[in-house]
Structure 1
Amino acid sequence: MCFSATASFLTTGLTAAMGLASLRRAKTWRELPLALAPVFFAVQQGLEGLLWLNLPAAPDGSLSTGLAFLFLVLAEAFWPIYAPIAVMLIEPDQGRRRLILACVAAGLGVGTYLLWYIVNWPHGAVIQDGHIVYINGTKHGVVVALAYLAGTALPLMLSTQRMVVALGGIVLVGLVVAYALYWEAFVSVWCFFAAAASIMIVLHFKRVDQSRLAVVALNK
């Protein structure tokens, strides 16, 4: 998280617990990627917690640079590829799956581009005004930003699953708040909102579990 090591590690523990709860409820291989999402958020927040501990002592050290690299790979390259695939796999409506498939293509394109950018440009992180600010070359343009949204938030909003749509809504609200109030630390703050929204994934699987139990009860 963007405020302190304590907050980051607390978020790590909570999102890891939500990931375990989701994994216990996942019944098919198609559900596993979505169930695993909170675990990846936990890893991401853990990386930021370690950055909080290392940046004051060695901001340009190899450990700080490596942690910043891993965080940026997850935040910028991993999620736009992973998120639409996870949503598409659980989507029962064929028409929505076609739309989400377009998001997969957009996410794959922007994720690959951003990974290339992270690898080929200098990267790092600094503590500034009580937040962690990630540095990786120049700012990206509107096209990249829209493609990133198409890979992360849009597939959630296209889902027919109520809790998945709610997750997309929280992610979008986080985007607006992070952009308006924490521009310099945008990546860090938005990722915190997304991690906090993992509770919606747990609720989604709880809802699916209840539906399965209802079907079993009707068939008895």
Structure 2
Amino acid sequence: MCWSATADLVAGTGIAAVGVVCVARTRRVRDLPLAALPLLLGAHQIIESAIWRSGGGSGPAVLAWAVIALPLLPLWIPLGVLCAAPPRARRRLLVPLAAGIVTAALLAYCLATRPVSAVIRGHTLGYALDVPRSGPLVAGYLLATVGALLLSGDRLLRALGVLAAVGSVVCAALWRLEFVSTWCAFAALCSVVLLCRTRSGPAPGPVSPA
């Protein structure tokens, strides 16, 4: 989330461009889900720019935003980390993956059975979805996303996990104060870390399966 439609659009376009470079530089098929994550984050920001322009509400753009933020990310991230992780780390990554599957399933059920809406609050957008027992769901979400990165066994992914943990606290605090939303800057930083993880220069041949 950014603080205006223009900021969301500009940030989303830039983050998606980083995602294109990440995918182009990736040589192994199993690294593609993580390399494509900035593409997903960029699309998320661009969708939110449409929500800003429509004044919030509960239209298709709000639902698309919620689908990415709620059930998709807690499934995408641990699965991507599991695919990219070294063999020695894969067994412990089954825990955050299981948490992601359960969390994504419950959030998808809530989205399918309950309305979701967005409202402009100062320089932020607030989203409302009736989620029962939100505490365990938040814990499962953090275990699936931040936990998977911290347990990845990869130096840069662990650094991304620390960045995600700290950034989530700071961004959430600023959002609750309705001062300004900084999620787009956080998404941009995460995308740059993923860009650093990809190999510089294009692959010399087809993407290898290993």
What TM-score comes out, normalization by structure 2 length? 0.87
- For structure 2, list consecutive stretches of 5 or more residues without a partner in the other structure: 205-210
Corresponding pairs, count: 201
CA distance in 2, matches of 1:184, 1:40: 27
CA distance in 2, matches of 1:9, 1:150: 30
> Contact 1:127–1:133 (CA<8 Å) still a contact in 2?
yes
Q: Which amino acid aligns with 1:12?
A: G
CA distance in 1, matches of 2:118, 2:23: 32
Q: Which has the higher contact order (CA 8 A, sep 6+)?
A: 2
Q: Greater helix share, 1 or 2?
A: 1
Identity over aligned residues, as a percent?
A: 30
1:196–1:50 CA distance, 2 compared to 1 (3 A): farther
Alignment-derived partner of residue 87 in structure 2? 93
CA distance in 2, matches of 1:5, 1:202: 25
Deviation of the 1:13 alpha carbon: 1.4
Q: Is 2:167 aligned against 1:174?
A: yes
Aligned pair partner of 1:165 in 158, 177, 180: 158
1:47–1:140 CA distance, 2 compared to 1 (3 A): farther
> Contact 1:26–1:205 (CA<8 Å) still a contact in 2?
yes
> Contact 1:15–1:196 (CA<8 Å) still a contact in 2?
no
CA distance in 1, matches of 2:132, 2:111: 12
- 1:70-149 mapped onto 2 (5 Å cutoff): 70-94=64-88, 96-138=89-131, 140-149=133-142
Deviation of the 1:180 alpha carbon: 2.5
1:32–1:138 CA distance, 2 compared to 1 (3 A): closer
Structural RMSD (CA): 2.2
1:86–1:191 CA distance, 2 compared to 1 (3 A): farther
CA distance in 2, matches of 1:74, 1:184: 24
- 1:1-220 mapped onto 2 (5 Å cutoff): 1-55=1-55, 59-60=56-57, 64-94=58-88, 96-138=89-131, 140-183=133-176, 189-190=182-183, 193-206=186-199
CA distance in 2, matches of 1:49, 1:177: 22
* Structure number with bigger Rg: 1
CA distance in 1, matches of 2:45, 2:161: 19
Deviation of the 1:181 alpha carbon: 2.6
- For structure 1, list consecutive stretches of 5 or more residues without a partner in the other structure: 214-220
1:71–1:114 CA distance, 2 compared to 1 (3 A): same
Deviation of the 1:149 alpha carbon: 0.5
What TM-score comes out, normalization by structure 1 length? 0.84
Deviation of the 1:184 alpha carbon: 7.3
